[in-house]
Amino acid sequence: MTSIVGSMGRKGDSRDNAVAEILFSCLEFECRRRHNFADLDDAQHVIGEHIDGFYNPERLHSTINYSSPWSSKSLPL
């Protein structure tokens, strides 16, 4: 028997996947619309570069007091 823990939100709860939805929305707006991907490898490369080069080190996120994920790691909780 497996011990699977269900999601904390209920079906239709918008807060349950809000952070993931924001990520995908930003990727579509900031990355996908600016590139015509030749193939899957090209898409993976461009999206990886966007996440590692801008989204995590520079982009300000409201869920962590408008700081970047990398800079928030050095802030005290």
Number of domains in the chain: 1
Q: For tokens 């924001």, name the residue.
A: 22
Q: Which domain holds residue 49?
A: 40-77
26 occurs within a structural domain: no
24 occurs within a structural domain: no
Residues whose CB is less than 8 angstroms from the CB of residue 7 and which lie 6 or more positions away in sequence, other chains included: 16
**Measured CA distances, 25 to 9, 32, 74, 76 (Å):** 21, 10, 27, 29
Note the pLDDT tens digit of each residue in 15-55.
667 777 888 888 888 887 888 889 999 989 998 888 888 77
57 occurs within a structural domain: yes
Q: Residue 34 has what pLDDT? A: 84
23 occurs within a structural domain: no
pTM recorded for the entire structure: 0.56
